[in-house]
Chains A and B, each alone.
Chain A
Amino acid sequence: MDGTVKLSSAARALMARDLRLLWRRRGDALQPALFALLVVVLFALALGAEAQALARVASAVLWLAVLLAGLLALDTLFRGDAEDGSLEQWMLAPVPLAWLVLVRTFMHWATTALPLLIATPLLAELLHLPRAQLPVLLASLALGTPLLSLLGAVVAALTVGMRRSGILVALLALPLYVPVLVFGAGSVVASAQGLDPVGALLLLGAGLVLALVLAPLAAAAAIRIALA
Chain B
Amino acid sequence: MPGTAPGAPPLLAVRGLAFARNEEPVFGPLDFVVDAGEALLVQGDNGAGKTTLLRVLAGLLRADAGGIAIDGQPARASLRSRAISYLGHLPALKADLTALENLDFLCGLHGRRRGQLPGNALGIVGLSGHGDTLARQLSAGQKKRLSLARLWLAPAPLWLLDEPYANLDLDGINLVNRMVQAHLRDGGAALLTTHGAYAAPPVRTRMLELGGGSRPADVLSASAASSAAGAGNPKAMG
List chain A positions with a Cβ less than 8 A from chain B. Answer: 1-5, 9-10, 12-14, 16-17, 20-21, 24-25, 80, 83-86, 88-95, 100, 227-228
Contact (Cβ within 8 A) B59 A17: no
Minimum distance in angstroms from A16 CB to a CB of chain B: 7
Q: Which residues of A have CB within 8 Å of B89?
A: 85
Interface residues of B in 82-112 (CB under 8 A from A): 82, 84-86, 88-97, 101, 104-112
Q: Name B82's contact: one of A10, A85, A94 (CB within 8 Å).
A: A94
Contacts of B84 in A (CB 8 A): 92
- List the A side residues contacting B91 at CB < 8 Å: 84-85
For residue B135, which residue of chain A has the nearest CB?
A: A84
Residues of B within 8 A of A (CB): 58-62, 78, 80-82, 84-86, 88-97, 101, 104-114, 155-157
Q: Are B155 and A2 in contact (CB under 8 A)?
A: yes
The closest CB in chain B to the CB of A227 belongs to B60
Grouping DSSP codes into helix (H, G, I), strand (E, B) and loop, the A interface class, with mixed when no group exceeds half, is: helix
Residues A89 and B155 in contact, CB atoms below 8 Å apart: no
Complex CA–CA separation, A227 to B62 (angstroms): 11
Task: From known contacts A84-B94, A85-B91, A92-B81, infer whether A13 and B60 are also in contact, taking CB-CB under 8 Å.
Answer: no
Report yes or no: A89 in contact with B94, Cβ–Cβ below 8 A.
no
Let me know if B155 and A86 touch, CB within 8 A: no
- The CB with the most chain B CB atoms within 10 A, among A3, A85, A100, is that of A3
A135–B106 Cα distance when bound, in Å, is: 42
Given A89-B86, A94-B111, 11 new contacts (CB under 8 A): A2-B113, A3-B111, A4-B111, A13-B108, A14-B105, A17-B105, A24-B97, A84-B95, A91-B60, A227-B60, A228-B62
Q: Chain B interface secondary structure, helix, strand, loop or mixed?
A: loop
Q: With A1-B157, A3-B155, A92-B60 as given contacts, are A24 and B109 in contact (CB-CB < 8 Å)? A: no
Q: 5 closest A-B pairs (Cβ-Cβ)?
A: A13-B108, A85-B90, A85-B92, A24-B96, A94-B81
Closest chain A residue to B104 by CB distance? Answer: A13
- B109, A89: Cβ atoms closer than 8 Å: yes
Contact (A95, B109) CB under 8 Å given A20-B101, A84-B94, A88-B92: yes
- Total inter-chain residue pairs, C-beta < 8 Å: 97
Q: Is the CB–CB distance between A88 and B104 below 8 Å?
A: no
Is B92's CB under 8 angstroms from A93's CB?
Answer: no
Task: Indicate if the CB atoms of A88 and B109 lie closer than 8 Å.
Answer: no
In the complex, the chain A residue whose C-beta lies closest to that of B114 is A2
Report the separation of the CA atoms of residues A2 and B115 in the bound assembly, to the nearest whole angstrom. Answer: 9
Q: Which residue of A lies closest to B97 (CB)?
A: A20
A20: chain B residues within 8 A (beta carbon): 96-97, 101
Report yes or no: B106 in contact with A2, Cβ–Cβ below 8 A: no
Q: Is the CB of B95 within 8 A of A10?
A: no
Contact B109 A5 (CB under 8 A): yes
A94 lies within 8 A of B96 (CB) = no
Nearest to A91 among chain B residues (CB) is B60
A77 to chain B, nearest CB (A): 15
Q: Given A88-B60, A88-B92, does the pair A1, B104 have CB atoms closer than 8 Å?
A: no
Contacts of A24 in B (CB 8 A): 96-97
Known: A1-B155, A3-B156. A84 touches B112 (CB 8 A): no
B97:A21 contact, CB within 8 angstroms: yes
Which one of B78, B91, B105 has the greatest number of beta carbons of chain A within 10 Å?
Answer: B105
CB contact under 8 A between A14 and B61, given known A20-B97, A84-B91 = no
Contact A3:B92 (CB < 8 A) given known A16-B105, A89-B109, A94-B111 = no
> Do A89 and B60 form a contact, CB below 8 Å, given A13-B104, A17-B97?
no
Check if A88 sits within 8 Å of B108, measured CB to CB.
Answer: no
CA separation between A65 and B211, bound complex, in Å?
56
Give the residues in chain A near B111, CB-CB below 8 Å.
2-5, 94
